[in-house]
Structure 1
Amino acid sequence: MNPPSAQALTQADGEIEVTLTVNGSPVSMTLPARVTLSDALRDHLGLTGTHVGCEHGICGMCTVLVDGQAARSCLLFAVQLDGAEVTTVEGMGRVDDLHPLQESFGRHHALQCGFCTPGFLMSSYDLLSHEPGVAREDLPAELSGVLCRCTGYRNIIDAVDEVAEAHRCGIPGPGNCGSRTLVGRTPAGASGAAGGVAQETAAPEDTSGPRHIELPSGEPTIAIDLTSELNSGPADVARVLGDVRLLARCLPGAELTDDLGDGWYRGRARIALGPVRLSFQGLAQVLEQRADRIVLNAQGKDTGGGSAQAGIVMLATASGAGTSLHADAKVFLTGRIAGFGRSLAGDVSKRMFEDFARAIDQAAAGAEPDVSARPPSAVALLGGALRAHARVSLARVLRPLSRRRSKNR
């Protein structure tokens, strides 16, 4: 057996670009080699209809179609599937035009908690598309690859058998697969369907070249006004502010991927907040860059459909033997991350800027910033924010007690 070529080997933490067609939409992602298809679908594309259960290929919750065949997405690495066509439960039907299997599952009450429903829908479709003449008595064995935790097997068998009887000449194909049909979460005001299926059209990502970044005129989602004291002197800090690539390495989760010239840069930023994992790709425009000041605008889109825009001003001034670094930022968010409360989102953003300032201080001192392209730790960011809230709350409780003690004296 010949050893693999150098091109076939990838570091454990290395990233690979993979291109898939998901529910009829071409998708390109840059992913670590060990990211499973299920995680890529859920965390990077927002297709959370693909459920994850045992992660050992036993329960069948994560079943999807890969090139027309049922596959356990938890057992496949996304990078293995470059060029493949993937169909998820979101591609089966639209909220106003359900697939026959979805209609039958609803009609026969073939779902209780709904956790197994996507797996059963995809497995049932795979079965009926390959064996349209399957007999009812064979269905329990044929569908045994998906486990129902609510034990609603009788109703599931009834639902699948009804569709099989009605479509002996061939089951209709997925009805929500077409160009740019990708994300299947229910839009605001619409109701969900069996398997959590609804239609949402993914907006095309446009980061092809420089253009003017215009920030919204309304109130920002987050406003940051923060001053950090650095040990490094102004000249050393100015060296970092003058090197955009070095500056980007100081921001946790951020990475510059291309210098487009004339103050334009392409990059990405990732953050994980509990179950919400975001990956923004977009552009940054440096509007002003001096030894003591940098002004920039940035905008990006998350693979799950959210967006972020920010205007950032950083000013460095001498402060004793060190430097005061002031950051003024206005951040506008839409999508999943905008669902966090403004107070909590603001605290998390402030923690990130504090980490940013510490990394700038390290870079100014000649050390490599102690951050990486990994998403910032949700536990650390949220923990710090919650501790700050707790301190403020405790101070509010203790302040009246302290006043009463003073009066008693």
Structure 2
Amino acid sequence: MTTAEPTPRPVRAEAGELVDVTFTVNGTPATLKLPARVTLSDALRDHLGLTGTHVGCEHGVCGMCTVLVDGQAARACLLFAVQLDGAEIVTVEGLGKPDELHPLQESFGRNHALQCGFCTPGFLMSSYDLLTGKPDVTPEELPAELSGVICRCTGYRNIVTAVRETQESFPEGIPAPGNCGTRALAGRATVRVGDERQETEAVAEPVSTEIALPDGEPTIAVEVATGVDVESGRVWDVFDDVHLLASCLPGAELTEELGADTYAGRAKVSVGPVKLKFDGVARILEHDRSAGRLRVLAQGRDTGGAQTQAAIELRTEATAGGTVLHADAKVYLTGRIAQFGRALAGDISRRMFEQFAAAVATAATSGRAPEGPVKPPSALKLMLATLLDRFRRRRR
């Protein structure tokens, strides 16, 4: 007669104790130190920068936070991250690439199956789970099968149509998620333990040095001009020094020279609750002091998958009192940053260019970088400045 081994008691974690948890997210291994009470949704959003997983009710009712855990749909707000040590997790960011969407994402867009977009990640992941686990679901069953996610905009009709269309297009089964592969997750996570704040660090995903602008119209096109009380030759002394020029860009920092007029750097943008940190590269295409023209291509990516690409042309025009700086930019945005309306994005661009011009004037006068980083405009200043501009236009 053998005696069964006693079942080991679970290890108890104290309230302020950090617990190591390792799982694979969208094909990438990730290890975090987290308090035991941190939910999977918070771990994904706050510590890995994957904000496509939305949080609505935090009771498992609305379905906004649906992700795949070991191939099965699960509510990320109802799971503690430490429960998932060793698990395979797929979020909506892993479903498709910005330039190569998953068929479900394409169908949602084609059938207008989203309006505000808040429930969309939950519907996409739930629909993927449904069509994977029950590929022969009937049209009559679809509304009930999709009722686990709540939408307050579209009335569900277009959502059901999009899912049905995808099912009909792939009778043998829908394709697997197309954006899962080993890459570095990015970001700095701040963990609060009791009254103390502790930080975890992750490595940013490398940004390709190959810069190619998308086809089609840019998200925003900005043409700005502002005058500075400095003669153009001294302005170009700043433009000739790439490190000095980079120090004048609001929220930007030059980190590495890559050769062939290509540079790596990072930039921060913060507007209200939206805080983005981009790692990117820029290439100087033209640097013509005699013609007064500087052309640059740039691209960057933040921790949550937001991407920006831009073609920027700076021109100087000598005047009797100084120099007029002109900036023409075509900017392409995807991800969270694209949630900004065109008017707001334009206002941000104009305010940042005004700050840049002022910093250039200071550097041209002093011959050295501005003291401290040039901070991008705050949400409050943007709002007040925009209202003031509109008031002035109405008076005129």
The answer to whether the aligner puts 1:25 opposite 2:28 as a matched pair is yes
In terms of Rg, which structure is larger? 1
Q: d(CA) in 1 for partners of 2:179 and 2:383?
A: 32
Please name the residue that 1:306 is paired with: 306
Q: 1:39 to 1:317 in 2, by over 3 A?
A: farther
Cα deviation for residue 41 of structure 1 reads 4.4
> 2: CA distance between counterparts of 1:311 and 1:43?
32
Letter in 1 for 2:300: G
Q: Residue 233 of structure 1 corresponds to which residue in structure 2?
A: 231
Shift of 1:22: 6.3
SS for the counterpart of 2:123 is coil
Per-residue CA deviation, residues 255-294 of structure 1 (Å, 9 max, x unaligned), is 1111011100011111011111111212101011122321
Aligned residues: 266
Task: Tell me the residue number matched to 1:190.
Answer: 123
Distance 1:347 1:375, change over 3 A: closer
Alpha-carbon separation, structure 1, partners of 2:24 and 2:382: 33
Cα deviation for residue 91 of structure 1 reads 6.5
Which runs of structure 2 are paired with 1:90-129 in the superposition (5 Å)?
93=69, 97-99=72-74, 102=75, 118=77, 120-122=78-80, 126=83
Q: Choose the corresponding residue for 1:218, options 213, 216, 219.
A: 216
2:384 corresponds to 1:383:
yes
Q: CA deviation at 1:195?
A: 10
Query: Contact 1:186 / 1:192 at 8 angstroms: preserved in 2?
Result: no
Distance 1:378 1:266, change over 3 A: same
RMSD: 4.1
Indicate conservation of the 8 Å contact 1:317/1:325, yes or no.
yes
**Aligned residue for 1:328?**
328
Percentage of pairs with the same residue: 38
**Partners of 1:370 and 1:280 in 2: CA distance:** 22
Shift in Å at residue 46 of structure 1?
A: 3.0
Change in CA separation of 1:48 and 1:331 when aligned onto 2, cut-off 3 Å = closer
Deviation at 1:253, TM superposition (A): 0.9
Contiguous gaps of at least 5 residues in structure 1:
1-19, 29-36, 53-60, 62-88, 103-116, 130-171, 400-409
Name the CA distance, whole Å, in 2 between partners of 1:317 and 1:27: 51
Task: Report deviation, 1:221.
Answer: 1.2
Distance 2:180 2:267 in 1: 20
Taking structure 1 as reference, are residues 365 and 22 closer, same or farther at Cα in structure 2, changes over 3 Å only?
farther
Bigger strand fraction: 2
CA distance in 2, matches of 1:202, 1:220: 27
Which residue in 1 is equivalent to 2:89? 176
Kept after mapping to 2: 8 A contact 1:250/1:371 = no
* Consecutive unaligned residues in structure 2, runs of 5 or more: 1-21, 32-39, 59-64, 97-117, 127-147, 151-176, 184-204
| Corresponding residue number in structure 2 for 1:261 | 259
Distance of aligned partners of 1:49 and 1:328 in 2 relative to their CA distance in 1, 3 Å threshold: closer
Q: Secondary structure at the match of 1:365?
A: helix
| In 1: Cα distance, 2:274 partner to 2:223 partner | 26
- Which SS does the other structure have where 1:304 is aligned? coil
- 1-structure distance, mates of 2:253, 2:50: 21
Q: What TM-score, normalized by structure 2, do the two folds share?
A: 0.56
Cα distance in 2 for partners of 1:175, 1:283 equals 32
